[in-house]
Amino acid sequence: MNLKKAIVLIVDDDPDVLTAVRLLLKPELKEVITEKNPENLNSLLQRNQVDLILLDMNFNSAINTGNEGLYWLKKIKEWKPWVSVIMITAYGDIDLAVRSLKEGADDFIVKPWNNEKLIDTIKEVLDKKDGIKQSKTVTVKSQGETAILGDSAMMQDVFQKVNKIAPTDANILLLGENGTGKDLMAKAIHERSLRNNKPFIKVDVGALTETLFESELFGHKKGAFTDARDDRQGRFEDAQGGTLFLDEIGNISLQQQAKLLTVLQNRQVTRLGTNKAVDIDIRLICATNLPLSELANEQRFRKDLIYRINTVEINMPPLRKREEDIIVLARYFAKLYASKYLKPAIDFDAAAIQKLKTYHFPGNVRELQYTIERAVIMADTGVLGADDLIFSILETQPAALIQEEQIQLGTLEKNAILKVIEKHNGNITRAAKELGLTRTALYRRLSKYDI
């Protein structure tokens, strides 16, 4: 990460330390923020897009154990888990500093420090953070630390886009097949936004009838219709100050779309049975399994509404197009469910890995997750074999059809790879770039097709 783009927060109750570090770092960074009182940490993190925190281990000289620093480190990781933290410690507290690494700190520096070494440490931590942030994982804390994982180029692009737009108030449209993780991504975007201390409200609008649509979203007054026995605020008001996630937006009727558009244009809702408008302040995220080309059909979906909900679109790729991620996800789910069901550590043998790699996963990540959970529950040993992986009959196509499709797709892919490699005179790096693959992924395909 370019230091000139970084914002660093220094938290230390010694004003001399704050002054010295600020003067040292100011020419190197985009912005340096200093704070004496760690009680102000949360509000500072809400107001500023901090990349890294320099955090003192001790804030109470009467106690002087370093526990204060560990306490605030844990708080930072709860509030903003992606923010990097470097602990500031005295020589006698090195054991505590090492413990802080296990608690989530990225590194530590010892007082008195070498100025050049401090700058190098900050740069190393930011470079490391930048790589992880954009290519490895997005965590959803409220889902039991569920992670959205991916080393594939497609998922790296998704993570990079999420990191750029999550802190804004831009309306987001999540596209992708069922089971690709659109609901998890919506929650992750909320948790990375400046609204993360406000409500996250999800509504499956595709399941709402014409009668319930207005009542559920906009609320109603007592007596507005037969079953309206009490006043009730709608989901827009429930999400006030936070994020409203409208799932299956592509399934609502044109009449419902017109009502939704009016609310989004006016930023006001009016409960059924009353004429009083209520101002709303929400960040809107929508999701659909329909391709954008189908939504663009005005006989099915209003274009003016698409523009309202689609400031930025994010495509969640199907699992069959990100094969590099299958084993990464499988091992993650195996670890997750082994812990949940009090099982020993579980891995996969070679046959199981091969079976996972060659399966087409019509149910996407959701199908993989349920497959691994079932296998872990039934496991008698710490190693899962091919026979332990039973894919859902709800998703399985006839075997002959699957085999025929795979043969056809394989032939097409093999021919495309051969043409591109020939075009670039055998240069694998250039060929991989044109094909949208990593070098490693292309080498795997070369081996697969015996090229």
User: Averaged in consecutive runs of 10 residues, what is the pLDDT profile of the chain (451 residues)?
Assistant: 84 89 90 91 87 85 62 85 84 70 81 85 78 48 59 84 88 94 93 91 88 87 73 92 95 92 94 90 95 82 91 92 90 91 89 92 93 94 92 60 53 80 83 77 73 75
Angle at 156 between CA 164 and CA 442, to 5 degrees: 155
Question: Which amino acid makes up residue 250?
Answer: G
pLDDT for position 407 = 53
DSSP 109-144: EEES--HHHHHHHHHHHHHHHHHHHHHTEEEEGGGT
The CA distance from 277 to 59, in Å, is: 49
Q: Decide if 220 contacts 272 (C-beta within 8 A).
A: yes
CATH of domain 399-448: 1.10.10
d(CA 252, CA 295): 11
- Fold adopted by 3-132: Rossmann fold (3.40.50)
What is residue 107's three-state secondary structure? strand
| Residues 415 and 377: beta-carbon distance below 8 Å | no
Q: Are 81 and 139 in contact (CB under 8 A)?
A: yes
Token pair for residue 365? 């990540």
Q: Domain coordinates of the chain in residue numbers?
A: 3-132, 140-315, 319-388, 399-448
CATH number of 319-388: 1.10.8.60
Give residues with Cβ within 8 angstroms of 416, minimum separation 6. 435
On the 0-12 / 13-18 / 19+ scale of CB atoms within 10 A, 173 is buried
User: Considering Cα of 362, then 365, then 366, then 370, what sign does the dihedral take?
Assistant: positive
Query: How far apart, in whole angstroms, are the C-alpha atoms of residue 126 and residue 107?
Result: 11
What is the pLDDT at residue 161?
Answer: 86
3-132 and 140-315 in the same fold: yes
Superfamily name with CATH number, domain 140-315: P-loop containing nucleotide triphosphate hydrolases (3.40.50.300)
Residue 446 contacts residue 413 (beta carbons within 8 Å): no
Residue 270: what pLDDT? 92
Q: For the chain, how far is it from start to end, CA to CA, in angstroms?
A: 38
Is the pTM of the predicted complex or chain greater than 0.75?
Answer: no
